[in-house]
Chain A
Amino acid sequence: MNIDLSRRSFLKLAGAGAAATTIGALGFGAAEAATAAHVRAFKLTSMTETRNVCTYCSVACGILMYSKGDLAAGEKAELIHIEGDADHPTNRGTLCPKGAALKDFVKSETRATKPRHRAPGADTWQDISWEDAFDKIARAIKDDRDQNFIEKNAAGVTVNRWLTMGFLAASGGTNETGWLTYKAVRSLGVLGFDNQARV
């Protein structure tokens, strides 16, 4: 057997071989033999498998993501299927109705896919480039902070707080995102800072 065969064509060959021998052995009509062997092809063969953790609740089930294309190898990867990781001590491969449908979350039609801007009083979105969005944000932060930052309280104690800005961080995000967010937000002097711990 040619070892250069891709997994997919390899499977096809294997399947064809098996079917051919069996038809001969059974002696019933070719059509019926083809019929009887009609089990849907296993859809994960030749996919790239990536280990991940469910993004929903804090049980944090291990999941296996199957994609067309290998992201680690720099390819574009399209998610095809997600199921539980049977090696994971907590979930042992199981998933709840949310976890089992994680793919639908990743591929939701109402995902945000481009930066958008809504002007005051407008009733529609306008597309905006990342550059322009960041410039707008940075300008707003700088101006508001300079205007409303409290360096000292009435007693003259250095308090360095900024109360006219608030930031809600994502408990669905990673620690690493959280830490970077923490640094950036705290360094600005923000106190109106929270995550979903209460809700």
Chain B
Amino acid sequence: MTSERAPEPVTAAANPPLQPLASNLLPSDVIRVSATSDVPAPERHLTEVAKLIDVSKCIGCKACQSACIEWNDTHPDIEENVGVYENPHDLTPDMFTLMRFTEYENPVTNEFEWLIRKDGCMHCADPGCLKACPAPGAIVQYSNGIVDFISDNCIGCGYCIAGCPFNIPRVSKTAHVSKKCTLCSDRVAVGQGPACAKACPTKAISFGTKEAMVELASERVEDLKSRGYDHAGLYDPQGVGGTHVMYVLHHADQPSLYAGLPDDPQISPVVRGWKGPAKTVGLAVAGLAAAGAVLHGIFARPNEVTAHEEGEAEDLVEDHDQRHGDREA
């Protein structure tokens, strides 16, 4: 094979290759697979990538939504206006990313702020969706940090919804598979950045190695602090092991201001319990019970009716007959 392997992407600001390039996302780059425990250790570790969303640069133009729809060939419904700027009104199986708008009156500065956040999959290092997923191979995580849904293996149960700390996956009513941002894994595979990051007019969305994005974020945080946002900071929540989609927030001390971005997201203990101990212990208990029954069956004497008892029964029935007869007589 002489085909050139596509490079790993370092930016979204690049033009797509037209020459065929072999994918840089190999099966062997998968480090986690849903409902699969024996994923072999990868031979190489890809450079972790990340999308950095700087809400202080975001103008809420929805170019990311537009680019996402076009790249992924989805068909969201034409809805109606319900008195807000969000359209569609929520993430849908056909809308992997959504601008959420919050009108906030800052009690400290008395300034009005229009907080706009691009919502979508965070590509957690410890993905709750993957943990919750019962279908082997329906959710995979690559060593570059991308968490991807593989529709062919998805059974549409919606467990990923329960597993996700960010309320992201949506199950299609028609295809019955769960959908969310892929971080444009097909673009990343040929060295390109995600469509939304490329499109973003104000570069509020950047894409590159996670290291570079963290560095860029610190540059931005410094700028924001110079503008009086003392609590500006990076949102890379460690509760889920960090994310491969991160935010620069002016109010990093209050993420929930931004349309309910979780302050301290983590995989719910309930989900951990359900997918951790409950899964093992439950199965073990059931297995033990079954085994116990079998063993008991084999080794213990069965509870058998004796011929004597059959006789007793006959007597008893006879007896009753007579007594009834007596009474009648």
- Is A–B contact present in the complex under a CB 8 A cutoff? yes
**A contacts, CB < 8 Å to B:** 1, 7-8, 10-11, 13-15, 17-19, 22-23, 25-28, 31-47, 49, 64, 66, 81-87, 91-101, 103-104
The 5 closest A-B pairs by CB, nearest first: A35-B137, A14-B3, A11-B20, A100-B66, A36-B27
Q: Determine the main DSSP class of B at the interface with A.
A: loop
**Contact A93–B198 (Cβ < 8 Å):** yes
**B contacts, CB < 8 Å to A:** 1-3, 12-23, 25-28, 30, 33, 36, 38-40, 43, 61-63, 65-67, 69-71, 136-137, 140, 148, 150, 152-153, 182, 185-187, 189-190, 195, 198-203
Chain B residues positioned under 8 Å from A82 (CB to CB):
70
Chain A residues positioned under 8 Å from B66 (CB to CB):
95-98, 100-101
Of all chain A residues, which has the CB nearest B42?
A26
Give the tally of cross-chain contacts (CB within 8 A): 160
**Contact B185–A87 (Cβ < 8 Å):** no
Q: Which of B27, B39, B69 contacts A19 (CB 8 A)?
A: B27
Contact (A94, B199) CB under 8 Å given A39-B185, A42-B189: yes
**Contact B13–A92 (Cβ < 8 Å):** yes
Contact (A18, B22) CB under 8 Å given A40-B186, A100-B67: yes
Chain A residues positioned under 8 Å from B20 (CB to CB):
7-8, 10-11, 14, 45-46
Chain A residues positioned under 8 Å from B16 (CB to CB):
42, 44, 64, 66, 83
Q: Which of B13, B43, B65 contacts A25 (CB 8 A)?
A: B43
Q: Which of B18, B152, B182, B189 contacts A49 (CB 8 A)?
A: B18
Nearest CB of chain A from residue B72's CB, rounded to whole Å = 9
The 30 listed contacts between A and B (C-beta, < 8 Å) are: A10-B20, A11-B3, A13-B1, A14-B3, A17-B3, A28-B38, A28-B40, A33-B27, A34-B27, A36-B140, A37-B25, A38-B148, A39-B23, A39-B186, A40-B182, A44-B18, A45-B18, A83-B195, A83-B199, A86-B198, A93-B199, A94-B202, A94-B203, A96-B61, A96-B63, A96-B66, A100-B66, A100-B195, A101-B69, A104-B70
Of all chain A residues, which has the CB nearest B62?
A97
Q: A32-B33, A45-B18 provided; 10 other pairs, C-beta below 8 A?
A: A14-B3, A17-B3, A18-B22, A25-B43, A26-B27, A35-B33, A42-B190, A94-B201, A95-B63, A97-B65
Of all chain A residues, which has the CB nearest B73?
A43
Chain B residues positioned under 8 Å from A96 (CB to CB):
61, 63, 66, 199, 201
Of all chain A residues, which has the CB nearest B205?
A94
Chain B residues positioned under 8 Å from A83 (CB to CB):
16, 67, 70-71, 195, 198-199
Nearest CB of chain B from residue A55's CB, rounded to whole Å = 15
**Contact A93–B12 (Cβ < 8 Å):** yes
Nearest CB of chain B from residue A137's CB, rounded to whole Å = 36
Chain B residues positioned under 8 Å from A85 (CB to CB):
15
**Contact A100–B63 (Cβ < 8 Å):** yes
**Contact B40–A26 (Cβ < 8 Å):** yes
Chain A residues positioned under 8 Å from B71 (CB to CB):
81, 83
